[in-house]
Every structure is written in structure tokens, then in C-alpha cells.
Amino acid sequence: MPALYPHLAGFIQAWFHQDCDLDGDDADIVAEARRVTPAAERALLAAEIRRFLADHPGSLADAAFLRHLEPDIDPSANGQSTADWLGVILRLLEQP
């Protein structure tokens, strides 16, 4: 299923792995990803995050995130919805 969202799946698997908390908080992780990822790739990722959220609005994003992306993390396990978490990631990713 990651083929539906290949940029998002790659980003999550590369940056939000099971030990990502050792790399800092979400803002630290996205800042490093922004530093090493070309702008064109970041734009593709941002578009894919928007598409994922449009395809799976609100609470539907929680199960879809786990099903489609097979991540090592579950944002909803910390009391934050996956949709809200991805919105934060998107804002951090698109910071000037």
C-alpha cells in the first residue's frame, strides 16, 4: 500500500522510525529533513500529505496511516490525531 503515497511513506519510514525520539522532537526532525531534502522533493511530499488528508479526513486518517504507510510510530497513541499531527508536520515542512 505505500505505493499510494510513496513520498509520505518514505519520509515517515526514514525520519519517524521507532527510535526517532532520540533525534529530537518533531520540529527538530523536520528541520533536519528540510536541511537535507531538495525543495522539489519537499513540495512533492507536501502535496502528498495534503492528498492523504483529503483522502482520509479527520479520524479516518488514524487507521489509514497505519494501514497504508506501515509506520513504526502511531501519532494517535500520544493522544493527538494523526490528521492533526500530519498538519503540524506539513506546517513545519513548509516553513520559509
Q: Cα–Cα distance between 69 and 59 in angstroms, integer?
A: 16
pLDDT confidence bin for 76, thresholds 50/70/90: confident
Lookup: cell for 9: 511513506
Model confidence pLDDT, tens digit, residues 41-73? 999 999 999 999 999 998 889 889 988 887 787
**pLDDT at residue 64, rounded to an integer:** 92
pLDDT confidence bin for 20, thresholds 50/70/90: low
| Integer angstrom CA distances of residue 8 from 51, 65, 66 | 10, 10, 12
